[in-house]
Structure 1
Amino acid sequence: MKRTRILLTKPSKNYKNYIHLMITETSTDQDILNIVKGRLTLRKKTTNAVYKQYPPEEAVQQLEQLSLEYQAKGYSEEPESILDAIKVPEIQVLDKAKWHYEGEFPQDLTRDAAYTATGMFITWIINNNWFTEDIEQEFHAEIEQVKKRQLMGAEFYRKCLDGVFSTQELSDEIIPFVNEYLDIQNDIYTAEDYVQTLQGDKLTFYHVANTWENYDLIEPVIEQRFQQFMARI
């Protein structure tokens, strides 16, 4: 039976380094290998993730190969349940553009493409007034430009948030939904909805054009997910 999730840890003096390898299956011929690295202590964990796309069988091979490479460096397998006992910091980084363009990023694209997917989600956040009052006040002009479709969400992400999207900028009411929907370890937004709605026959999800037409396609999908989430709580 093929494995699609492996947790590896390596003890240090005051913490454990960990590598969490996970395959996210998609409806296309490219699965996503999530490589989440960080540190574990009794009270918190840090996370830094990169994503790589492979055909399904190759994704499994890459996961197993990476596991062996890390074990050769002193890492050992542990049950994933140990992560559940760790308190996650209140402020969570949901995405960083550099995670993408410093990772396995298509050479035929500029760095601007690393902002597109999260930029579209940020557009939904802006249109529904889910940023904190501080962000609303500080970037009032830019937020109004996004609402009037004079500024793309990707550009707002780059210009106003410096390519870092975290729960710190969000109203308390929306954080539970965003944490679930953009969860690094189970990314529903990018790995499922964004890919299935917009990628089509494009080489990667990075090749999706940053257009209002594409935003109009993904917006109702996000909204439906939100309404489903609200119906459960």
Structure 2
Amino acid sequence: MPRPESDRKYDDASWHAGGDFPADVPYSQGGVHIAIFLAWVIHRGLYNPELFETADVEMVQQRSVSILGLLDRYDEKLVAKELSVEGNAFASYYYGLPQQGVVPPYLKDYGRTLGAGLPSLYHVAPTWENYAKLEPVMDQRYREWVARGRPAQPPGSRASVSASTLRIVLGWIVGIVLFGLGAIIGLAWVVSRLHQ
């Protein structure tokens, strides 16, 4: 697997500061979901060792740095160059790239696991306790992804729905064509019998 474009950006805390960002939480809350995923990537060894200091990795593994402190060290972004090839493949599948109107599987899991009873997902506390709640969910998603052969798109994504729809439509077209050919051949046989 080749290394993806290093400037590809999965997420950026600054993207979350406008629009529907709640006025009652600090700007840093826009990066909690990014920081939790980045911590998981480090815990699972899916990071690019050329870009992460050994001390940073150890602080995450020992949980001696705050969740948001980790994100601050990496410019409040999640970018492709920070991840290993395997990490990028999984991040593309699970975390997703920004797409209008598409909620990636990671954010669905994040919301179900940590967002219950909160006014918004921006109210999730940036704690190692919340990381510990989401960690087994992310681990399960990673195991499922590996078991499925490391697909590029999650089930139900726009790309996989389009491919499924295309297969169904092509199946119908082939069926109609074969039915039509059968009908023409049958009709030709009947006509030939009538003219004998």
Same fold (TM over 0.5): yes
Q: For residue 37 of structure 1, what is the aligned residue in structure 2?
A: none
Q: For residue 149 of structure 1, what is the aligned residue in structure 2?
A: 63
Structure with the higher strand share, 1 or 2: 1
Q: Which amino acid aligns with 1:128?
A: R
Which of 88, 91, 104 does residue 178 from structure 1 map onto?
Answer: 91
Structure with the higher helix share, 1 or 2: 2
TM-score, normalised relative to structure 1:
0.58
Offset from partner CA, 1:145-187 (integer Å, 9 cap, x none): 11111112322112x2111211111111221111011112341
Offset from partner CA, 1:170-215 (integer Å, 9 cap, x none): 111221111011112341111x100000101100001011111111
Structure 2: 5+ residue stretches without partners: 150-196
Please tell me the root mean square deviation across aligned C-alpha atoms, in Å. Answer: 1.4
- Summarize the alignment of residues 1-233 of structure 1 with structure 2, pairs less than 5 Å apart: 90-91=5-6, 92-136=8-52, 139-158=53-72, 160-183=73-96, 184-185=98-99, 186=102, 187-190=104-107, 192-233=108-149
Offset from partner CA, 1:5-37 (integer Å, 9 cap, x none): xxxxxxxxxxxxxxxxxxxxxxxxxxxxxxxxx
Structure 1: 5+ residue stretches without partners: 1-88
Aligned residues: percent identity?
33
* Equivalent-residue separation in structure 1 for 2:122 and 2:50 (angstroms): 31
Check conservation: 1:120, 1:153, Cα contact below 8 A: yes
Q: Which structure has more RCO (C-alpha within 8 Å, separation ≥ 6)?
A: 2
Q: How many residues align?
A: 141
* Residue 142 (structure 1) shift: 2.2
